[in-house]
Amino acid sequence: MTEHPGPSKHPGPSEYDGPSEYVIAVDVGGTSIKGAVVNRAMRQVARLRLPTPRGEGPRAVVDAVAEVLRRLAEHAPGAAAGVVVPGIVDEPSQHALYSAALGWRDLPLAALLSEVTGLSVTLGHDVRAGGMAEARLGAARGADDVLFCAVGTGISAALLLDGRPVSGQGYAGELGHVLTDPAGTACACGGCGCLEAVASAAAIAAAYGARSGRAVTGAAQVAELKAAGDRGAEEVWNRAVTALAMALTSSVSLLSPQVIVMGGGLCEAGELLLGPLRQQLEQRLTFHRRPTVVRAALGDQAGCLGAGLLAWETEEGASEPAACTVACGGAQ
């Protein structure tokens, strides 16, 4: 296990006033499991990270998540815990319905984790939790209607309306599978012309490799090549931005968010992505309420902070903890 101390010194059990002063937050990803003990001001006062053993099978991943919870509970005995995972999550039943990355199908994950750890565990979706964190603590703080779009290897989104996350029994937010080109590239979902098949980081890298005959390490390298004047990189990048603008235009028409928060690895490109995306979105909108398009503020800690918010809602009956007063370790 690799442990990372938080902004304060790593506390021991005797230094906590009691479980009601802290919650445990865990964000389960395909590569790593990030965990933290979070106080009422949403400071991560202790953190740890374990690799996700997905190559060892679904049960091994459950065991690894339980291990993270147990290690963190040593510092905050009896604290409520929030755990967020990728895939399709049904929050009312607290089931992980499906995750291609982790191999889960209709798994009563919250109950399993509670049984083996003795903790009160609330299960949520990683992107919805990240969107909630950005809305309450980050780039969209103060807005009631927020669309959080995570663009990385895949594309997903979270929607908050009147301050409440929209779940759709776990199926809401699949922005990556909005149709943007009926004659476009086949998508891993079985469809054709999905946004994810054009504008995800993986799709951008693959499209540039196919066009140029030159392999790249990822979308970040395509962005660098575009900035350096590479014509092929520019065409691939512009096609991705256009597809994103089309999908977001549809989202604005249907949902009218005040703020669109762009997160995920692709947004490390900053204004190279956000500048033309804002411009194209403005050109496509007519009578609509114009959303502000901003870069996510919490970086890769958004999911973990969102898990902490879920745990606080369970602990305090949906009351909201104090606003975050620190950067929370995220990129600004």
Write the Ramachandran bin of 142: left for phi over 0, alpha for psi from -120 to 50, otherwise beta. Answer: left
pLDDT digits (tens, 9 = 90+) for 180-222: 988 888 888 888 989 999 999 999 999 999 999 998 999 999 9
Sequence-distant (≥ 6) Cβ neighbours of residue 327 within 8 angstroms: none
Q: What secondary structure, in 3-state letters, does 84-128 show?
A: EECCEEECCCCEEEEECCCCEEEECHHHHHHHHHCCCEEEEEHHH
User: Model's pTM, two decimal places?
Assistant: 0.85
- Please answer whether residues 322 and 40 qualify as being in contact, where contact means their C-beta atoms are separated by less than 8 angstroms: yes
In this predicted structure, what is the pLDDT of residue 316?
78
Assess whether pLDDT exceeds 70 at residue 331.
no
Tell which residue, 124, 145, 123, has the closest CA to residue 134: 145
Superfamily covering domain 140-295: ATPase, nucleotide binding domain (3.30.420.40)
User: How does pLDDT run across 145-185, given as a tens digit for each residue?
Assistant: 999 999 988 899 999 999 888 988 888 899 999 999 888 88
Work out the pLDDT band at 2, boundaries 50, 70, 90.
Answer: very low
Query: Which residues on neighbouring strands pair with residue 179, listed in sequence order?
Result: 194
The 10s digit of each residue's pLDDT in 81-107 is 999 999 899 999 999 999 888 889 999
Fold: same for 2-130+299-316 and 140-295: yes
Q: What are the domain boundaries of the chain?
A: 2-130+299-316, 140-295
Tell me how far the alpha carbon of residue 323 is from its chain's centroid.
19
Q: Are 232 and 249 in contact (CB under 8 A)?
A: no
| 12: pLDDT strictly greater than 50 | no
- Element (DSSP H or E) covering residue 196: helix 196-199
Task: Residues 2-130+299-316: name the CATH superfamily.
Answer: ATPase, nucleotide binding domain (3.30.420.40)
Tens of pLDDT, residues 23-35: 999 999 988 999 9
Q: Are 16 and 31 in contact (CB under 8 A)?
A: no
